[in-house]
Structure 1
Amino acid sequence: MLGALSMRDLTVLAPLTTLRIGGPAREIVEVRDSDELVDTVRTLDDAGQPLLLLGGGSNVVVADEGFDGTVVLVRTQGLVADVDRCSGATLTVAAGEVWDDFVAHAVEQEWVGVETLSGIPGRVGATPIQNVGAYGQDVAQTIARVRTYDRRERRVVTYAAADCGFGYRTSRFKAEPGRHVVLEVTFQLELGPLGAPVRYAELAKTLDVAVGDRAPLADVRDAVLALRAGKGMVLDPDDHDTWSAGSFFTNPVLPPDAADRLPADAPRFGQADGRVKTSAAWLIEHAGFGKGYGETAARISTKHSLALTNRGGATGYELLALAREIRDGVEARFGVRLENEPVLVGAEL
């Protein structure tokens, strides 16, 4: 292990991210099991070396200057399934497993609860950090516990779902960036051939069912993949609309008085705490930033106004300049400040 940490030539990070943007790292280390991951992180921390954990690179923007430290590629593998007719499927999945491979396997096995999260890039370990969600589901609904290495306390800690601080695209792990290294995630899924009740109107329409009805798991997965592909949200090396970090901005959740100041036709979704969620895509488009907007190789996707894309050869500087222009334009027009969803490495908006 220590030999793997010796200095090498600088390595460019761009090919390791879905945006294909990012400068050099001092060192790149790949780990294949949880013990090696913990040992690697502990060794780097002991040496005082800057550390960046990287899974699928799908939710990160790396600066053109790169990262002056060690990048640890999380490639741990393994899935342990405990399936019972009464209690359902309890699945412990290594952080380095490819997320969509896990979802495809769950659908094939008739394990219910993650089917609308099909087509999302990245690795399993990233999903609880961001509380990944789409089309009416998020991982907080099915996560039972998360096993982590706490870099501050220098010990392995397992958090029950109730202790993970899950919220809209957030968690205790995101709230304390860099502290918690996710090792494994345990999911509790129901059993059956039908997906969970469809909660998202666009998906229900595609499946030709009413909101709240169920559809076969495979049909739900196929419908979600088709919807995502139509928005450039399924990775395709030949499609520059997919050279992105997914949705660049989160949907704002506003106090009622702020929501009241939006135009009457702005989308509004009431939240359990009394706040109101609105659509970042709607705000962006109505602030004058339409699909395809941009003057450099960094542009808004031609398929989805929430995705900022690399049309080929874009720099981090260009992408972040576009993000600032959109954020500031929306704030000037509507008084709402958009928050970026991807993690920024060596950069800021």
Structure 2
Amino acid sequence: MSGSITTDDLATRIDDAARAPYILDVRSSDAYDQWRIEGKVPLDIANIPYWTVLGEMESVLGTLPKHREVIVVCAHGGSSGMVVETIDQKNVHNLQGGMDAWANTLVPRTLWDDGSSFVVQFDRVAKGCLSYAVGSRGASMAVIDAGASLEPYLALAEEMNTTITDAFDTHLHADHVSLGRQVAAHTGATYRIASGDAETARFDFAPLIDGERFEYGDLDVVVRSVATPGHTPGSTSLEVAGRFLMTGDAVFVSGIGRPDLGGQTEPWAKDLFATIHETLAALDHGLEVCPAHYTSRAESRDDGTLHRSLGDLLTNDPIVSMTDEAAFVAYVVDHLGTPPSQYDDIRKVNLGHLQPDPEMLKELEVGRNECALSK
């Protein structure tokens, strides 16, 4: 009696040790080593290619738990479905859509809701990407750093009876294809990004200006842009409702955004040092830093959200708290690995210089982000 499970359902369970299933990944070892399902808690996961499972069924069955749910995973859901049907046990289920579907799964979590205004964090769990929606019920809403799929943002707008009027990118993304322009095209919203990151863009955009303010319904929801260069020249943080600071990849809940993706590591590292110790340090330290990425689900809070007070980050993060510019730059230069080879193509896509077909798009976005540098 085989069955299946959606990626949305799986995403809500992998952070809970009591509910996390056993995972049997039947892809090749190379595909598994490149990218796999991960949670906040260590998962019980085995990688046995589907041809081995089918050829050595009896011995494989002996390794699977009898009284616990087993989720079988492959690239697209086909091979895993065949394995599940062959095993035919009620506790063994197929992951619908496989890793393709997992790659684009967004989990919404509310950061703040006063009954009128709201701030929602969307977690793309497969890649460690975070995006946001801020707005007021019955009025308007903005989407920040959209990725993966339009549907969750559109569904939230419908639920809140709002109109999406702005789509922001805090910077030129290199690890994933931005959906900011698609959000704008679908809804009639204005796409906004700093000119410093989009000078060569082959599309129209509204340039973000330092200090610019945007309102969405109630006055409680005011977005103020703050130039925070370093990860990229045009990186811009958005202060929301006097409570949150959407920092993009400038700083994370742990560590900083790598400043080497434009090939100017030392100058950009100096810009980032100034951003931290001049711009961010001058803001309200009670603001909650809400970044565009994270390295591990272990960084999340008990409710699954990811954020950290600016004051705590400035004081206690081993890199952010470094006060000597030369030491900061030297550390950055010495500890950066080589960025993934596809990042250059992703930047081209996000500037409109490259139009990928669906298969290329899928290949570009395989794997978790590697945007952070942390100790």
TM-score (norm 1): 0.25
**Which of 1 and 2 has higher RCO (CA within 8 Å, sep 6+)?**
1
TM-score (norm 2): 0.23
Say which one has the larger Rg.
Answer: 2
